[in-house]
Structure formats: C-alpha cells, structure tokens
Amino acid sequence: MSEAKKITLATAWLDGCSGCHMSFLDLDQRLIELAEKVDVVYSPIVDTKALPDAVDVGILEGAVSTEEDLHKARMFRQRCQFLISLGDCAVSGNVPSMRNMFDLDDVLDRAFVENVQAQPGRPSESLPTLLRTVLPIHHVVQVDLFVQGCPPSADTIWQVLTELMAGNTPDPTQFTRFGA
Amino acid sequence: MTHPPVASNPGPKVRVVTLKIDDHDVGARETDSILEIAHANGIRIPALCYLDGLSTWGACRLCMVEIEGVSKPVSACSTTASEGMKITTNSERLKRYRRMILELLFAERNHVCSVCVSNGHCELQDLAAECGMDHVRVPYRNATYNIDSSHDLFRVDHNRCVVCTRCVRVCDEIEGAHTWDVMGRGVNCQVITDLNQPWGDSQSCTSCGKCVQVCPTGALVKKGTAAGEMEKHDDFVPYLAQMRKRQ
Ligand code: SF4
Ligand code: SF4
Ligand code: SF4
Ligand code: FES
C-alpha cells in the first residue's frame, strides 16, 4: 500500500494517567501491523510537535480539566474527521472529576499550601489554568465514538482500530464497560 | 410501608392466562407480574429495584415494556398479566428510555467505577453495559453526598445509591428490623437508618448484613473492601421469603 493511502491517526493525553496510551503500546507486535495501515502523525509516543491541519482519526485520553485541555479538545475536533474518547476519564470524567465535589480554591490550597512544607503557595506561572469543573470530552466538543475502560485493554483498542480500518463503526459496548 | 398493588400471594382460584411476550407464547397465572412471567420463560427484561422475594416497588422504571393498545409503557414488575396481552420488551423507544434512565442515574450522584469497591460486581454497571449506555449526555450534578462509616461492619456511601429501596424492604420484610427508611423528595431523596441517625448508633440494626447483600450498587458495602472486591449474594432472599410465608 502506498504511503498516501494510509489512515492518519493523532492522539493526545489530557487529564488522564497515561494508562490509555500505555494500553495502546500494549498492542505489542500488533503495532507493526497497525503501522502498515496507519500513520501516527501526532501523539505523545511520536516526535512530531504539531497537530497537522487534517487528520482522519483523533483519539483523546483524559478529561478536560484545564484551559489547555479545552484548547486541545477543540483543536482535535476541528482537525480530526473522526474523534474518539478513549478511556473512562475521557468518557465520564472518572478519577480527575472527583475534585468536582470540592470547591476549586479548596483543592488548590490542599495541594499547594496545606500539605506543602517548602515554599507553600499556589503556582502562578507555567501551569495551565484549572477549570472550575472537570468535564468529559463530549461535554465540550462533539465526539464520534466512546471507548470505556480504565484503561481500555489492548484487545479493546485493537478491536476498535481494526473495525475502523475495515471501514466499519465499532460498538465498544460489546467488549468493554465503565471501570473495565 | 405501603406497596403498589401486586398480588404475589395467589389465592386458591387463580385463572391461567395466555399472552405473548415478543415472539413467545406463554402461559401464566393472572396474578403474576409481566416481569416474573418473562424471567420464568427465559426472556430478559432489565430491572433494578425489583428483587425476587421482596415486595414490588416499581421505582426505577428500567423494566418498562409496551403492551399493544396501550400508548404509554408500563413497568413490567408492577403490572400483572391478562388474557391475550401482546407485550414488546425491547423496542427502539424502550431502548431509548432505558438508556436515558441510566444516564440520569449516573449523572445524579457520583459514580467512579474504576475506584469503586463494587467495580465488576455492580448491577448498575452491568445494566449500563447491557443497555448500551456508553456516555452520559446530560450534565453531571457533581453534588456531594454523605458517607456513613459509623457501623462496625458496614458502610453506606450515598454517592453510589440509586434509591431502589431494596435495603429498606429487605430489612423490614425479611429481617423484621426496619432500620432503613426513605427521607426527602426528588433529588434530595435518600435512604436513612433509624431517624436519620448514624448507622453505628442504630438501636434497631441487628448487623445481619442483608441490606448489604441486596444492594445492587456500591452504596452498601462491607468495610475493609478495596476497589472491585465487594461481591454480593442475594440468592437467599426468595428462600427466606418463602419460609416467612409459611410461618
Ligand atoms: S456503584 Fe456501580 S456504577 Fe456506581 S461507581 Fe460503583 S461500580 Fe460504578
Ligand atoms: S444489617 Fe440487617 S438489620 Fe441492620 S440495617 Fe442491614 S438489614 Fe437491617
Ligand atoms: S443503599 Fe443500595 S439498596 Fe439501599 S436504596 Fe441505595 S442502592 Fe438501593
Ligand atoms: S424493576 Fe420495575 S420499576 Fe424497577
């Protein structure tokens, strides 16, 4: 197959633990098979620093917790034809959203003041601004496919990708669930 | 506690009726509920608040089915059979409604399956998977609910409660203690122990653990369980219910 016909894939890691990307790497030897049909054009696991203008499939791990996450989610939606929420944090907010039960100022003080001995104080630079409420991705942009699991297994990811490569729309509820 | 009118204790002269559930012709006693008939014939209807051996509550509406000639769906657990009924259990409309109910349940309180003691052994989670509820479209409420760990053996985490009242019913009808009851309305509705006192201070609780075993979610759990460790067994309920009837 010529290079030009490969499906382009971009992935990003918002407010998650990277577990979903680890699961992706767990595809092991199947990554080679994947590389024959798919070109990973942007991802924490490749070197490219910028998201291309037009991508076939986008995969987002993690919830939307910061201004930066929000910006990335919007950019992915704009540039990816088909957008996938991968993992419970992306789909439901999951663990990152547990802070929603508390006021953001209390959360910041707890993390940066109350429990810190050396130079307690809220960070004022270099960190993206936290949103008051952590949201699942589809609450900020339209999402085309939801893959539950914490993290979704490599087999789940493989099944989703192979179905997509075959031109079908997979139904992940057949092989994964919340908390799987 | 008052119950919706379901005859679960048939008298001697019960008529037998024939009806159709999806493509199956089935026979049943006219006192049986549609849900009982379906389950007895191996036809699956999703249900959450219903539990074999307890009185029928009809609160969750997940068991709703369509009856030919009746415009609104009815709850299968609290509707009895009648001659010639034609019932549909899984139309597109019913699937849509069930999905919406599950989305509302997940959005109302705080369900974080990955760290929940009931992960992998939860009826709510299973229902979401069964009904294809793969994401919640409505906004999450993000309201904070209490966790009461005052009991020596058990804990109640209201963040995971779906207010099915199984705990209330098993404690009242099977154990005879009536420690649990329901307080408040609408979104403020929640289960309480005694007069909304800490469970550990309860004078009525016998610490039998029945409520924990029948609770479909991670709301009532044994203490000392970590994520995914809380497995429950509610198969004792129909047996004890039978024994109670004989007394
Ligand atoms: S109670 Fe069930 S649905 Fe809720 S968080 Fe626990 S496992 Fe998930
Ligand atoms: S442990 Fe037994 S007596 Fe105590 S609240 Fe639960 S069912 Fe009732
Ligand atoms: S505590 Fe469990 S059994 Fe009781 S109402 Fe809540 S979900 Fe149902
Ligand atoms: S099982 Fe019928 S309403 Fe809950």
Ligand 4 atom closest to the Cα of residue B164 is 4
Given a cut of 80, is residue B1 above it in pLDDT? no
pTM of the model: 0.93
CA B131-B124-B114 angle, to 5 degrees, is: 105
Q: Rounded to whole angstroms, how far apart are CA atoms B36 and B19?
A: 13
A169 close contact with B: CB closer than 8 A: no
Ligand 1 atom closest to the Cα of residue B116 is 6
Phi/psi at B167 (5° precision): -65, -40
pLDDT band at B12 (very low <50, low <70, confident <90, very high): low
> Which residue of chain A comes nearest to B137, CA vs CA?
A139
Interface pTM (ipTM) of the complex? 0.93
Nearest CA to ligand 2 atom 4: B205
What residues does ligand 2 touch, defined as CB less than 6 Å away? B 170-171, 175, 177, 179-180, 205-211
Q: Which residues of A touch B142 (CB under 8 A)?
A: 97, 100-101, 133
A101 close contact with B: CB closer than 8 A: yes
Instruction: Considering chain B, tell me which residue range(s) the CATH 3.30.70.20 domain(s) occupy.
Output: 95-235
Average pLDDT for chain B: 94
A98 contacts B112? CB cut-off 8 A: yes
Which of the ligands is closest to the CA of residue B215? 3
Nearest to B136 among A92, A100, A143 (CB): A92
Residue type, B129: A
Nearest CA to ligand 2 atom 6: B211
Using DSSP's 3-state secondary structure scheme, residue A9 falls into strand
Residue B47 vs residues B33, B39, B60, B162: alpha-carbon distances, Å: 13, 11, 8, 13
**pLDDT single digits (tens) A80-105:** 999 999 999 999 999 999 999 999 99
Ranges of H-type helices in B115-235: 123-130, 166-169, 210-214
How far does A20 lie from chain B, in Å, by closest CA?
13
Nearest to B134 among A133, A139, A172 (CB): A172
A43 close contact with B: CB closer than 8 A: no
A79 close contact with B: CB closer than 8 A: no
Ranges of H-type helices in B27-131: 34-40, 92-108, 123-130
B43's CB contacts (< 8 A; 6+ apart) are B21, B22, B24, B89
Residue B201: the pLDDT is 98
Burial of B78 (0-12, 13-18, 19+ CB in 10 A): buried
**pLDDT single digits (tens) A57-77:** 999 999 999 999 999 999 999
Using DSSP's 3-state secondary structure scheme, residue B115 falls into helix
B228's CB contacts (< 8 A; 6+ apart) are A179, B116, B117, B118, B119, B120, B121
The DSSP letter of residue A38 is E
Quick count: other Cβ atoms within 10 Å of Cβ B217? 26
Residue B11: the pLDDT is 57
Nearest to A179 among B113, B132, B140 (CB): B113
What own/partner pairs with CB < 8 Å and gap ≥ 24 does B183-190 have? B187/B108, B187/B141, B187/B143, B189/B163, B190/B145, B190/B158, B190/B161, B190/B163
Ligand 1 atom closest to the Cα of residue B122 is 2
pLDDT band at B244 (very low <50, low <70, confident <90, very high): confident
How far does B217 lie from chain A, in Å, by closest CA?
13
Q: Rounded to whole angstroms, how far apart are CA atoms B174 and A98?
A: 36
A177 contacts B125? CB cut-off 8 A: yes
Residue B8: the pLDDT is 56
The segments of chain A whose pLDDT lies below 70 read 1-4
Ligand 3 atom closest to the Cα of residue B182 is 5
CA neighbor of A85 nearest in space, from A106, A109, A61, A107: A61
Domain B16-89 in CATH 3.10.20.740: yes
Name residue, tokens 């506690």: B1
pLDDT (mean) for B32-60: 97
Partner residues linked to A28 by β-bridges: none
Buried-exposed string B93-131: b where 16+ CB fall within 10 A, e elsewhere? ebeebbbebbbebbbbbbbbbbebbbbbbbbbbebbbbb
Instruction: Considering chain B, tell me which residue range(s) the CATH 3.10.20.740 domain(s) occupy.
Output: 16-89
User: What is the end-to-end Cα distance of chain B in Å, rounded?
Assistant: 21
Given a cut of 70, is residue B197 above it in pLDDT? yes
Nearest to B116 among A91, A172, A179 (CB): A179
CATH of domain B95-235: 3.30.70.20
Domains of chain A: 3-98+133-174 (3.40.50.700)
